Structure 1
Amino acid sequence: MVLDDIEYSSVFEPQTTEEQVDTVYGKVYCTIAGLSKPNRPVILTYHDIGMNHKMCFESFFKHEDMHEIARHFPVLHVNAPGQHECAVTLATEYTYPSMDQLSETLPIVLNHFGFTSVIGLGVGAGANILARFALNYPDLVEGLVLININASAEGIVGSVTSKITGWTQTVTETVISHLFGKKEIETNYDVITTFRHDIMTYMNESNVTQFLRCYSSRTALELKRPVPGANLNGRTLKCSSLLIVGDDSPSLEVVVDCNAKLDPTRTTLLKMADCGGLPQVDQPAKLTEALKYFVQGLGYMPSACMTRLSRSRTASTSSVMSTDSSRGHAHTDEHQRGHSSTHKYKEQRGRSNTDLSMDGVSTTHTESKPVFC
């Protein structure tokens, strides 16, 4: 049953609890915001390397447009072992889990808290972990929102590059180059400086190095796109999936490649214009609108308030994503964007933001789902 908005007060402050869950692969630090609701999935988030749930998602969930979603669903933030804020160094005898093993901790976490299904929201390495979880436990996953997902293994060239980078760069700079594209690093001084400071201040470098090695050693998801009319029981995501990437993200090509390997009747690709490696920080209002439509497609929040995308939706049945047509629509001054993103990310970043243009967002889809534009 969908709860009406009148059941909530105008000031929304979800109850938050923190707990460490013991798993066969180590302790998993979790934060729950909100209360469990009957017949509702929990929104489960998983962060990228060099980050924890606060750095990756806190400003996004504090954004005023996200309050409506957070009222309807409990949110479970999961941190990889040793990645939570100010974590102590992992014991020398501890063997850091593989990506598959990290995904195997999620059923244990859900069972611990009594959740029976999830809507996953992951970024980078977290998106990869959630995809593995959905492949192995399809009955537990109602939908996935995957930002900057890379479904491939690192490959020989990438592996060699990573080793050379490890010799010449600090862990922090390696993480920065993973999270942000070259254009962002060169122009968005404020946001890059803020993230560099927070990685060095709040993250345990030794633990981050172990998670980074885990991600760099990942195996491919080995996805196989179903062929219409063929008896192909290939490995693919069974749930509705929304793939998201910024047009200045270093992950743009790998996300497009992942989309090509998934079931087109269940998958939507959203490329966000005027956006870099972290859409949830760069364009939280746009991402929230996309998330609302996605959740509605799963059968929840039918009366959700749409404020931005509803003004600029178009009907499109194209199955080919444009990589150029959207780039000239809504670009803002680079310095201004970086300054704004920094303030959204900082501790007092929950303040109301001005209305953002929805121009220049392109999607790829082949089914009758909402089109984000």
Structure 2
Amino acid sequence: SRVVADQIAEVLNFFGLSAVMCIGVAAGAYILTLFAMKYRQRVLGLILVSPLCKEPSWTEWLCNKVMSNLLYFCGMCGVAKEMLLKRYYSKDIRGGAQFPESDIVKACRRSLDEMHSLNVWRFLEAINGRPDLSEGLRKLNCRSLIFVGDMSPFHSEALHITSKLDRRFSALVEVQACGSIVTEEQPHAMLIPIEYFLMGYGLYRQSKSLSPRSPLSPSWISPELFTPESMGLKLKPIKTRIPT
């Protein structure tokens, strides 16, 4: 993971980029958090979706080991795919007896079929050996916006990482009835929080109908801006937690 974080710096150097805004999902969010901790001056802000932070719990470790063995000996078999899909998406979108499988899950299933099983095995082995980043989170000097579905197996990880971040510069948006990949399952729930987040950098022009305050302003976070009403979300509301 540390090698990958260093490779991000090499990519930025290649393209002549001094500082960037980062967005990552799950393990990608973990790598970007590690990158931000190591290269603080090169990260303007972090948008993390269902981020990993701590060492794997024994249940996650065991699940990863089962998938690793399946991938190593059987390839991308049906059981391995189902375990990965359960990690990514909520039960409703995965379908069942009453609801058909969604197009998003069907597309993901096809993508998994095309993946090299040994590469996925290497990924799971690396994730299973990840170190805990908790101690370094307080030292992050960039603003952070975290999304997580309340049905994600990494929901507790998102709560933990939010509790460790500086409360003045971070906010957590929990999306109801959603799994880990909020970017695909409920992308509409991310629009207005990201809009407010970018306003704090002057990167997004404010519309007349929105509050003039940024939820991640340098002085304070305004959690009321994340209410379902202010975001125009009627079907699946979200809530924001501020670290205590």
The TM-score with structure 1 as length reference comes to 0.53
Give 2:39's aligned amino acid: Y
User: 1:83-232 counterparts in 2 under 5 A?
Assistant: 99-167=1-69, 170=77, 171-187=80-96, 189-190=101-102, 191-201=104-114, 203-223=115-135
- 2:74 aligns with none
Say if 1:251 and 1:184 are closer, same or farther in 2 by CA, change over 3 A: farther
After TM superposition, give the deviation of residue 174 of structure 1 in Å. Answer: 3.6
**Greater helix share, structure number:** 2
After TM superposition, give the deviation of residue 157 of structure 1 in Å. Answer: 3.9
After TM superposition, give the deviation of residue 277 of structure 1 in Å. Answer: 2.3
- 1:362 aligns with 239
Q: Secondary structure at the match of 2:135?
A: coil
- 1:340 aligns with none
Alpha-carbon distance in structure 1 between the residues aligned to 2:126 and 2:53: 14
Alpha-carbon distance in structure 2 between the residues aligned to 1:274 and 1:182: 9
Alpha-carbon distance in structure 2 between the residues aligned to 1:209 and 1:362: 35
- Give the number of equivalent residue pairs: 223
- 2:154 aligns with 251
Quick one: which of 189, 194, 198 aligns to 1:295? 198
Say if 1:358 and 1:157 are closer, same or farther in 2 by CA, change over 3 A: closer
> Runs of 5+ in structure 1 lacking a partner?
1-98, 226-234, 320-324, 330-354, 368-373
8 A Cα contact 1:118 1:143, kept in partner: yes
Say if 1:281 and 1:306 are closer, same or farther in 2 by CA, change over 3 A: farther
Alpha-carbon distance in structure 2 between the residues aligned to 1:248 and 1:104: 32
8 A Cα contact 1:289 1:306, kept in partner: no
8 A Cα contact 2:223 2:241, kept in partner: yes
Alpha-carbon distance in structure 2 between the residues aligned to 1:163 and 1:198: 22
Let me know the Cα RMSD of the aligned residues.
Answer: 3.3
- 1:269 aligns with 172
After TM superposition, give the deviation of residue 200 of structure 1 in Å. Answer: 0.9
Alpha-carbon distance in structure 1 between the residues aligned to 2:87 and 2:236: 27
> Runs of 5+ in structure 2 lacking a partner?
72-76, 216-220
Give 2:153's aligned amino acid: P
Give 1:208's aligned amino acid: V
Alpha-carbon distance in structure 2 between the residues aligned to 1:130 and 1:251: 17
Give 2:5's aligned amino acid: S
Identity of aligned residues (%): 26
Alpha-carbon distance in structure 1 between the residues aligned to 2:92 and 2:154: 13
Alpha-carbon distance in structure 2 between the residues aligned to 1:136 and 1:304: 33
Give 1:216's aligned amino acid: N
Q: Secondary structure at the match of 2:240?
A: strand
Quick one: which of 233, 240, 246 aligns to 2:143? 240
Say if 1:261 and 1:366 are closer, same or farther in 2 by CA, change over 3 A: closer
Q: Secondary structure at the match of 1:286?
A: helix
Q: Which moved more, 1:165-174 or 1:131-140?
A: 165-174
Larger Rg, first or second structure (1 or 2): 1
Say if 1:364 and 1:306 are closer, same or farther in 2 by CA, change over 3 A: farther
User: 1:328-339 counterparts in 2 under 5 A?
Assistant: none
Q: Encode CA deviations 1:190-223: one digit per residue, 9 max, x unaligned.
A: 232321112213x222222212211121111133
8 A Cα contact 1:117 1:140, kept in partner: yes
